[in-house]
Amino acid sequence: MEYTKEMLKRINLQQLRGFITMGKIEEHDERSYSERLEQATEPLMKIFKDNSPSEEDFDNALRYALTECEYVFTEIGMKVGAKLIFEILS
């Protein structure tokens, strides 16, 4: 099964994610997860912080939003992973 070893060497999670979610393979982004998240949220953080009545309100709203996003995307990822495993084993 040499061909499967070669296929596994080419696996890229970003490209797989792009194919599953958008239907196309995207270029690989070399930035770390932290860098990608920070750059993506920086403009929103500035807007929210500038328009928040207090630091505590800002922190509470941000914590709630990020926690819910984390939960939702983790649950979706687990479902997709389980379906992929099921398909592979079928």
**pLDDT confidence of 1, banded at 50, 70, 90?**
low
Determine if the pTM surpasses 0.85: no
* 8-state DSSP, 29: P
Q: What whole-number percentage of the chain has pLDDT above 70?
A: 99
Structural domain span for residue 66: 2-89
- Count structural domains, the chain: 1
**CA R_g for the chain:** 18
Nearest to 84 by CA among 23, 4, 16: 16
